[in-house]
Chain A
Amino acid sequence: MFAPQAPLRMKPLLLALLFLLAGCGVGVTGTTGASLSAPPPDGTYNDTDVMFLQMAVPQHRQGIEMARLAEKRASRKEIRELAKAIRVTQEDEVRQMRTWLTRWDQPIAPDLDPAAHTGHGGMHGTDPAVLQVLRDTPPGPDFDKWFLTLLTGHQHGAVELARMEEKDGYNKDARALAGRIIASRTAEIEQLGSYL
C-alpha cells in the first residue's frame, strides 16, 4: 500500500518506522524500546540528526514568520529589535540545516501527513493557530503581549528538539548547532520574559 506513494521517499526515518511497525504487529505502544538511532549511513550522521534537522526547519520557519510580524507590529523598539535579530539568526540556521540535509541526500521536510498532527495543534514545534493569532492581532499592547507569550512557548519547543539532538544525535556540526539553539533560545526566553 505504500509502494505507489513512497518510492524515493523511503528515507531512513520512514523505513525505521515500517520496521518498527513490522516488529510490533498492530499498534505502536511506545514500549518497544526500538531505537531509530541506526549506525551513521556514511559514518558522519545518524537518523536522529536527520529527524532533528527535518523537524527544526519548519519549526524555525514558523518562528521566522512570528518574528517578521513583530518587526512590523510590536510597539516597543526593543521588541522589534529582538525580533529582527531572532529572524536573521534563524534564517542563517535554516540555510545551514538545508545545506546539511542536501549534502546527506535527505529531504528537507519530513514527508508526513499534517492531518495526523491536528489533534495536538500541528506538528511538534509548529502550531498554525499561533501564527494565525499574531496575523489577526493589530499593532498595540495586545500584540506585544501575545507575541512575547507565544514565542516563548515556541522557543521552548526548539529547545526540546535540540535536547533530543544533543542526547541522541551523532553529527558533530548538528550537535554543535543544537547546543547553540539551546543556549540562544534559553537566553531569548529570558529576554522575552523581561518585556512582559
Chain B
Amino acid sequence: MSLKRKLIMFATAAVIAPLGLVVLPAATASAHGYILTPPSRQAQCAQHTVTCDSIQWEPQSVEGPKGLRNCHGNVDRFAELSNDSKPWRATAVGRTVDFTWTFTARHATYSFEYYIGNTRLKEFKLNNQQPPATLKHTVNLGNVSGRVRVLAVWNIGDTANAFYSCVDLQVSGSSAEPGPAPEPAPTPAPPASGTWAAGTAYGAGSVVTYNGTTYRALQSHTALPGWEPPSTPALWQAV
C-alpha cells in the first residue's frame, strides 16, 4: 500500500473517529522495520556497504506473507536480498548475538522469530503489543561456527504479513562477544578550500566555491549530498 494511501486512511480515521463509524482496517498496518545491528542485508544496502537496487531507499519495507524463509519476503524488486552471491559483509560474532531493530512505525506484533535455515533459534512473542522503540533481542546461535545466514521474521499481529531481515554472521566458536570496534581515528577538519564536494569534512571557516559563488562554512560538518551550500544557509554563508 502506498504511503499516501495510508496517510489518507489515517487522516480519514482521525476525521471520522468522533462519529464512531469506522475503525482502522487491519490491512492498514504501517509497520516497517529491519535489523540495523549487526548490519542486515538491507542495512548494508541502505549504508551502501553493498551496491543495491531499490531496496537501498526502503530497507524497512521487506514485507511479505507470513511463513516465508527467504530474505526478500517474496517482493520481486527486493529479490537481490536472497542472492547469497552478493558480497554481503558477515559480522564477526560469538555464539550469542544481540540483534537491534530500527523502525519507521511500530505496529502491534505477534512475534519475532530467528532462523538458521529451517531451524528456529528463538521466538519472542509480544501478544499483539507494540515492540519498544529500542528493541534488542539476544539470541544464542547454538552449535554453529563459520559463516551463517540468520533470518529474522517480524510477524505482525493483525495482518497476514511479516517483515523479513537476513543477517550474515561469521561465528567464532567461543561464546565471547567480540570486542567493540576500534574507534576510528578522529578526522581533523582544518579549514579546507576548493570546490564544494560531498563527503568532505569542512571546519568552521572553510571557504568553498559552488556554481561560481564563494561560501564560508558557519560550522564544522561533513558535507552530504542534499546539503549544497545554496540550500543550507545554516551551514554556509555566501561571501
Binding site for B on A (CB under 8 A): 1-2, 13-14, 17-18, 20-21, 26-30, 36, 48, 51, 55, 76-78, 81-82, 84-85, 88-89, 91-92, 110, 112-113, 115-117, 119-121, 123-125, 127, 129-130, 133, 145-146, 149-150, 152-154, 156-157, 159-161, 163-164, 167-168, 179-191, 193-194, 196
11 A-B Cβ contacts within 8 A?
Answer: A30-B1, A55-B7, A88-B219, A88-B235, A92-B233, A113-B17, A117-B10, A125-B104, A133-B134, A156-B59, A160-B3
A182-B221 Cα distance, complex, nearest whole Å: 19
Residues of A within 8 A of B27 (CB): 30
* Residues 129-147 of chain B, each 1 if its beta carbon lies under 8 Å from chain A, else 0: 0101110000000000000
Q: Which of A2, A91, A113, A119 is packed against the most chain B CB atoms within 10 Å?
A: A119
- Within residues 211 to 235 of chain B, which ones have a CB less than 8 A from any CB in chain A? 219-222, 224-228, 231-235
- Top-3 shortest CB links A-B: A184-B226, A183-B226, A88-B234
Q: Is the CB of A149 within 8 A of B100?
A: yes
A181-B166 Cα distance, complex, nearest whole Å: 28
* Residues 79-102 of chain B, each 1 if its beta carbon lies under 8 Å from chain A, else 0: 000000000000000000000101
Q: How large is the interface on B (under 10, 10 to 19, 20 to 34, 35 or more residues)?
A: 35 or more
Nearest Cβ distance between residue A75 and chain B, in whole angstroms? 11
Q: Does B238 contact A (CB under 8 A)?
A: no
Q: Which of A81, A124, A156, A189 contacts B7 (CB 8 A)?
A: A124
Binding site for A on B (CB under 8 A): 1-19, 21-22, 24-25, 27-33, 36-37, 39, 43, 46-48, 56-60, 100, 102-108, 130, 132-134, 183, 186-187, 198, 219-222, 224-228, 231-235
Q: Which of A146, A156, A179 contacts B60 (CB 8 A)?
A: A156
Residues of A within 8 A of B57 (CB): 159, 163, 182, 186
A27-B21 Cα distance, complex, nearest whole Å: 8
Q: 18 other contacts beyond A82-B222, A110-B11, with CB at 8 A cut-off?
A: A1-B18, A17-B15, A20-B12, A27-B22, A28-B13, A81-B221, A82-B221, A84-B221, A85-B219, A91-B234, A124-B6, A127-B133, A129-B132, A150-B133, A156-B60, A180-B226, A187-B225, A193-B43
Q: Is the CB of B221 within 8 A of A85?
A: yes
Nearest Cβ distance between residue A184 and chain B, in whole angstroms? 3
Residues of B within 8 A of A188 (CB): 224
Q: Which of A26, A159, A181, A194 contacts B47 (CB 8 A)?
A: A194
CB nearest to B24 among chain A residues: A119
Q: Is the CB of B232 within 8 A of A116?
A: no
Residues of B within 8 A of A112 (CB): 10-11, 14-15
Residues of B within 8 A of A153 (CB): 33, 60, 102-104
Nearest Cβ distance between residue B234 and chain A, in whole angstroms? 4
Residues of A within 8 A of B6 (CB): 124
